[in-house]
Amino acid sequence: MTSRFALRPGGVAEVTAMHGLLVEVYTDAYAHRVATGNPFASPGSFAERLERHRARPGFSWVGAWSDGELVGYSYGQRPDPRYWFGDELADEHEPLTEMRLFVTNELMVRQAWRDQGIGRLLHDALIDAREAVTHLGLYVRPDNEPAVHLYTRLGYERIGTRQLAYEGAPLFDVMLRAVSKGS
Ligand SMILES: CC(C)(COP(=O)(O)OP(=O)(O)OC[C@H]1O[C@@H](n2cnc3c(N)ncnc32)[C@H](O)[C@@H]1OP(=O)(O)O)[C@@H](O)C(=O)NCCC(=O)NCCS
């Protein structure tokens, strides 16, 4: 059964004002990774990435709220495709100049609110408002079963791997989905 919740977008100013709350939700949603002690998974490291991401072009955010509680959120941005793919994968996907890419940087749902369709709805709400996008992308840990399952269901395909230059960062799978014309 689905609980009552509402999806609401937020701009950079709101996201900046909610910084502490967003880190709190991260700490709940990623508790199992935080517990490993890996520096990339730490709330502090996430907080720094969030600050950087929200300054990027095309930054968009959407939250799921229930009775004033933020139960999950997702955000993304419009990176330069070559930068996002990394040189190796970029060379395989030329010409990137015509690609209009929107990437989901984060999607998370508090543990108590999982498996009610909120993750999927957050993803769809985030990308619904994007205009003139030809491709959607994201990085995901290959061992993140719930997320890989969800993204595969949503039509993303694995196109390779990407090692980010953050301390402790895992080898991510790169997933891409073409957006059909008119959608
Ligand atoms: C990934 C995540 C956002 C999914 O959120 P959610 O609200 O539970 O997802 P939904 O309820 O929309 O479920 C989406 C699909 O995933 C499936 N799913 C949910 N939990 C699962 C699990 N533990 N294992 C496998 N599949 C799972 C659902 O059955 C559903 O599939 P279906 O449409 O085929 O039935 C959530 O697990 C989460 O916050 N994880 C921690 C943060 C994270 O890893 N984010 C992704 C980073 S790339």
Residue nearest to atom 10 of ligand 1 (CA): 117
**pLDDT score of 63 more than 60:** yes
142 assigned to some structural domain: yes
Task: Give a yes or no: residue 100 inside a domain.
Answer: yes
Is the N-terminal amide bond of 43 cis, ω within 30° of 0?
A: no
Q: Distance from the CA of 123 to the center of ligand 1, in angstroms?
A: 11
183 assigned to some structural domain:
no
Q: Which token pair is 39?
A: 């520096």
User: Is 55 a domain residue?
Assistant: yes
Residue to mutate (ligand 1; options 23, 53, 109; most atoms within 8 A of CB): 109
CA–centroid distance for 120 within its chain: 12
1-57 pLDDT, tens digit each: 456 899 999 999 999 999 999 999 999 999 999 999 999 999 999 999 999 999 999
| 115-159: pLDDT as tens digits | 999 999 999 999 987 778 999 999 999 999 999 999 999 999 999
Q: Identify the pLDDT of residue 95.
A: 76
| Domain of 165, in residue numbers | 6-178
Mean pLDDT, residues 72-95 taken together = 91
Residue closest to 48 by CA, chosen among 23, 31, 17: 23
3-class DSSP state of 50: helix
Query: Domains in the chain: how many in total?
Result: 1
CATH number of the domain encompassing residue 71:
3.40.630.30
Inside any domain, residue 102:
yes
Please tell me the distance between residue 30's alpha carbon and the centre of ligand 1 in angstroms: 13
pLDDT exceeds 60 at position 183: no
Q: Is 1 within a domain?
A: no
pLDDT at 1: 47
Contact 64/118 with Cβ under 8 angstroms? yes
Overall pTM surpassing 0.75 (yes/no): yes
Give the pairing of strands 69-77 and 60-66. Answer: antiparallel
